[in-house]
A and B are shown apart, each in its own frame.
Chain A
Amino acid sequence: MAKIGIMSCAHMHAYAYAGCVKALPDAELVAIWDDDSKRGRAAAREFGTKFIADLQKFLSSGVDAVIVCSENSKHRPMVEAAAKAGKWVLCEKPLATTVADAKAMIRACSAAGVGLGTAFPCRFITPVIEARNRLKSGEIGRLHAAACTNNGSFPGGWFADPKLSGGGAVMDHTVHVVDALRWMTGKEFTRVYCDCGTLLHEGLKTDDVGSLHLEMEDGVIVSHVASWNRAESFPTWGDVTFELVGSKGVLSVDGFNQKIDVYSDRVRKTEWAFWGDDANLAMVKDFVDAVDAQRPPSVTGEDGLRALEVTLAAYRSAKSGKMVAV
């Protein structure tokens, strides 16, 4: 039985992950710590666990492992504190907002002998796994190109504060696709071009639309949309899509296209009700299994660092107007 604690509920995924921990028979949600005690207390109430306001008391309360869901720029101190206390760590994406922070986190976990995972649930989306299998089976031959999107609705709050988020839609919605493509192809990204701007939400201090062009090893070319472009009236939060072009054909993946259309007079907005497998649950289960087996999570801190490096290169490109090396 893995005893899991949650550190900060600043990121809304904390609530999804808490639900996953509760749903897993081999795991127990033993405590929540949050630097915003009001938020932490409310979350603890919601999930029937205890809130511990003091960080050291939280870390010595018997938790085996923690899931860090703070604002992006606060990941490092929390992960370092958890590692120092010998806790296994699953950290929300992006792993950090700077390469230095990400490397320090990896070092801290390695020095403490604890596993560090980056929360990339895309690797656990069943249709994405299916696509990877088909790609590996040679169904579309040699991969030449990929056109991808990770669109979403505007998350609001600290996501639009560059000091806490490290960037906007490009920071938020590039890493998933970068990691998934690395995983599907086994290739690394080498160069990136990015055009981004604040185009849909007036007065925002970060970008909300980014169009990226990337190159991978062996000459694979990739385009990507990282955006907060989904209207409030759109039936769902967003999407993750890949169109993979190979020497023998095209493989199209719409990761969350397992839904029914719902027209409710009460809601007065068309909604898509998702019925596919729960990728978050599979990811948290992998983490819990890793804690039990004292092995690193499947998606590591290094994976988080690689995805962050590509994202930061995208921002460098947007600034210079040129394609840049990762």
Chain B
Amino acid sequence: MDVAIVGCGDRGAAYAAAAHRCGLTVSVCADVSERRARRLARVHNAASTIRCNMALRSKAVDAAIVTTPTPAHAEYVLSALRAGKPVLCEAPFTRTTAQGREIVGEVRKRGVVCHVANPSRSRPEYEAIEAQINAAKIGKVGYIRTYRAGPMPKGAGNWYRDYAQSGGVTLDGLVHDFDWISRQFGKVKKVFCQNLEHGGFDFSMVTLRLETGAIAQVIGSWAHAKGSAPSLRIELCGTGGMVQYDSGDVPVRTSRRSGGTPALGLSPVLKSIEESEIEQFIAATDGVGDPASAEDALWAVRVAEAALRSAKTGRAVRP
């Protein structure tokens, strides 16, 4: 399968490398910045272009991986779907539910796969948590707290800092938790959110009331020190026990006397997130994947939008 990478920043580079390891051929690297497109194309001996939509229609492309800033996802995902090409889209799925709905409509109409990446579907730590729940180790879960923290990510032109584009940590970070919690514990009935959306940092605190009655508190920080590794903590409490997870509790650590940037705060496993996502994507294109992926991703964006609305109005919002 020949894939086009649309969006050749850090995420695009990570997906391109994983695609290669998964036996796919990166045939085109597309980016609105010629420099970025060329740089990644050189690594993969691929063609480069600044005409992203045209690249998606090219005969040399069988599938697309969309890793642009969030607001541009919809345009390229729709382009790919309309050209009949399956798409892997980095999370967050879209910036708005309107964009997400249009994509889901297109997926339904054309029956083309749109797989939305989400670590909670591919990381073994989430599998381990789910296994404990399924084995009835902690009873019925009534309380969930997730906490993810790190510095504000860097992106081309500082786009994360523009909350109209990124949705801040409430959308960009917490959408992963909204997706996981909704799938694992039940649909969200009510959302309340407080956030900062300050110039150089963001902090968001969300309460979700689920249809089961369960309460989830979802905290996200883009207020931590520059260069610090992002971390994730999860706590579940049930009628018969608890589960706690802390991504900061890693088995391998480096301490550089000269300082420098620490690696991503992830535990090493044989398969990277991106490889797992691409494997799931390939399986889905072979008809054995999870066809609800875009719908679930849309729901998570809907919850994030509800959270942002709640933060503005000071009211609880139904997503």
Binding site for B on A (CB under 8 A): 144-145, 147, 149, 191, 193, 195-197, 199-202, 208-211, 213, 215, 221-223, 225, 227, 229-231, 233-234, 243, 245, 247, 249-250, 321-323
**Minimum Cβ distance to chain A for residue B314 (Å):** 5
A-B contact sample (18 more), CB < 8 A, given A199-B143, A213-B194 = A144-B198, A145-B194, A193-B316, A195-B215, A196-B215, A209-B142, A211-B216, A213-B207, A221-B194, A223-B207, A227-B143, A229-B143, A229-B242, A230-B242, A231-B237, A233-B241, A245-B201, A323-B315
Interface residues of B in 193-220 (CB under 8 A from A): 194-196, 198, 201, 203, 205, 207, 209, 213-217, 219
Asked whether any CB of chain A lies closer than 8 Å to the CB of B268, the reply is no
Asked whether any CB of chain A lies closer than 8 Å to the CB of B225, the reply is yes
A223 touching B194 in the complex, CB below 8 Å, given contacts A195-B209, A199-B213, A321-B316: yes
Name A245's contact: one of B203, B216, B242 (CB within 8 Å): B203
B315 contacts A199, C-beta separation under 8 Å: no
**Minimum Cβ distance to chain A for residue B56 (Å):** 41
Residue interface mask B282-317, A partner, CB < 8 A = 1: 000000000000000000000000000000001110
**Minimum Cβ distance to chain A for residue B303 (Å):** 15
Residues of A contacting B237 in the complex (Cβ-Cβ under 8 angstroms): 200, 209, 227, 229-231
A213 touching B192 in the complex, CB below 8 Å, given contacts A195-B207, A227-B143, A245-B221: yes
Name A223's contact: one of B142, B205, B238 (CB within 8 Å): B205
Nearest B residue (CB) for A228: B237
A199 contacts B207, C-beta separation under 8 Å: no
A202 touching B192 in the complex, CB below 8 Å, given contacts A195-B207, A223-B217, A231-B138: no
Residues of A contacting B213 in the complex (Cβ-Cβ under 8 angstroms): 197, 199
**Minimum Cβ distance to chain B for residue A147 (Å):** 5
A231 touching B240 in the complex, CB below 8 Å, given contacts A197-B213, A211-B215: yes
User: SS class of chain B's interface: helix, strand, loop or mixed?
Assistant: strand
CA–CA, A223 to B195, complex, Å? 10
Asked whether any CB of chain A lies closer than 8 Å to the CB of B232, the reply is no
Closest 10 CB pairs of A and B: A199-B142, A223-B205, A229-B237, A221-B194, A211-B207, A231-B242, A231-B241, A200-B142, A245-B203, A211-B217
Residues of B contacting A193 in the complex (Cβ-Cβ under 8 angstroms): 192, 207, 316
B239 contacts A201, C-beta separation under 8 Å: yes
A221 contacts B192, C-beta separation under 8 Å: no
CA–CA, A162 to B13, complex, Å? 58
Asked whether any CB of chain A lies closer than 8 Å to the CB of B224, the reply is yes
CA–CA, A107 to B198, complex, Å? 44
Asked whether any CB of chain A lies closer than 8 Å to the CB of B223, the reply is yes
CA–CA, A208 to B143, complex, Å? 10
A213 touching B142 in the complex, CB below 8 Å, given contacts A200-B237, A200-B238, A323-B315: no
